[in-house]
């Protein structure tokens, strides 16, 4: 019974969001209001709202309530450094543009501490939105010795930090850089973005517990489809 009530409530709220009855920026009822209006338990209401948040349809903030988000314009930057952080993401799929083993010297961004002749797995993926239009590019370079079977994975669905966890690579820290850039011709071609405009590029470096670099990555999203934010849960004693 509880599962049915939760699903009915979640489906009803999702339908209102997708139909535009609850447009981006709209505030959803609180858990207490949903409990009273729909005759469900507080736990059922909370579960429905949490599931909508995990699906990227709403953003939940303590003391600010639950707000419908524009799915094409929300990305929590902390998601790039912490695999446990969830975030509404641009709906759509990845297309693998390149996947090969090359010398580190051929990677188009810095790999600190990696010798130029070191073999690395180089992965490039194009991000498409729900309408199959390109909106961004993701590049990753990982020392081949640390991930010799990486190219056997489903690369279109690969989440690098989760892969490290699954294969026993004990990550100690990640660092994210934000670089203002001018969009070049190649990036414009791959993302459908006009060349020559200012944009934001993210670079991520990830190290193992023993200090070795396990990944260097570069991420670009068209500035006209994305809005970045940082959000953390603050626990007060």
CATH number, domain of 33, equals 1.10.10.10
What sign does the CA torsion over 211, 230, 73, 44 have?
Answer: positive
- Mean pLDDT across 155-166: 91
Residue 210 inside a domain? The answer is yes
Highest mean pLDDT among 81-90, 113-122, 224-233: 113-122
Please say if the pLDDT value at position 73 is more than 60: no
The answer to whether residues 228 and 154 touch, using CB atoms and an 8 Å cutoff, is no
Residue finishing a domain among 46, 68, 90: 68
Higher pLDDT, 83 or 50: 50
Residue 236 inside a domain? The answer is no
Angle value at C-alpha 75, between 73 and 78, nearest 5 degrees: 165
pLDDT value for 170: 94
pLDDT value for 203: 94
pLDDT value for 117: 98
Reduce the DSSP state of residue 13 to 3 states and report it: helix
pLDDT value for 71: 58
pLDDT value for 230: 76
Residue 203 and residue 113 in one domain: yes
Residue 180 inside a domain? The answer is yes
**Percent of the chain scored above 90 by pLDDT?**
53
Residue 35 and residue 102 in one domain: no
Token readout for 78 is 């902390």
Q: What is the mean pLDDT of the chain?
A: 87
User: In CATH, what number is assigned to the domain containing residue 161?
Assistant: 3.40.1410.10
Residue 118 and residue 217 in one domain: yes
Residue 237 inside a domain? The answer is no
pLDDT value for 225: 74
pTM above 0.75, yes or no: no
Higher pLDDT, 82 or 92: 92
Residue 200 and residue 118 in one domain: yes
Residue finishing a domain among 25, 46, 68: 68
Q: Show the domain range for 123.
A: 75-229
Please say if the pLDDT value at position 89 is more than 60: no
pLDDT value for 80: 72
Reported as a single tens digit per residue, the pLDDT across 93-152 is 899 999 999 999 999 999 999 999 999 999 999 998 777 888 899 999 999 999 999 999
Residue 59 and residue 129 in one domain: no
Residue 103 and residue 52 in one domain: no
pLDDT value for 237: 66
pLDDT value for 213: 98
pLDDT value for 172: 93
pLDDT value for 101: 98
Residue finishing a domain among 24, 39, 68: 68
Residues near 129 by beta carbon (within 8 Å), at least 6 away in sequence: 72, 90, 91, 92, 135, 225
């Amino acid at each position: 019974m509880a599962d049915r009530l939760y699903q009915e409530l979640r489906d009803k709220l999702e339908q209102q969001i997708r139909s535009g009855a609850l447009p981006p920026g709209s505030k959803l009822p609180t858990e207490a209001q949903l409990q009273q209006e729909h005759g469900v338990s507080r736990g059922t209401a909370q579960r429905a709202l949490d599931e909508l948040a995990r699906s990227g349809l709403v953003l939940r903030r303590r003391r600010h309530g639950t707000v419908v988000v524009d799915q094409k314009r929300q990305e929590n930057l902390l998601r790039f450094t912490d695999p446990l952080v969830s975030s509404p993401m641009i709906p759509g799929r990845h297309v693998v543009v390149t996947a090969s083993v090359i010398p580190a010297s051929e990677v188009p961004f810095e790999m600190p501490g990696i010798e130029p002749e070191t073999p690395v797995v180089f992965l490039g993926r194009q991000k498409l939105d729900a309408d199959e239009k390109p909106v961004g590019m993701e590049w990753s370079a990982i020392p081949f010795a640390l991930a010799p079977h990486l190219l056997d994975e489903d690369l279109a669905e690969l989440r690098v930090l989760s892969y490290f966890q699954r294969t026993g690579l004990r990550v100690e820290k990640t660092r994210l850089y934000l670089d203002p850039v001018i969009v070049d011709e190649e990036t414009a071609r791959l993302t459908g973005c006009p060349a020559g405009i200012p944009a934001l590029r993210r670079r991520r470096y990830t190290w193992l517990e023993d200090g070795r670099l396990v990944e260097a990555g570069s991420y670009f999203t068209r500035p006209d489809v994305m809005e970045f934010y940082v959000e953390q849960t603050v626990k007060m004693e």
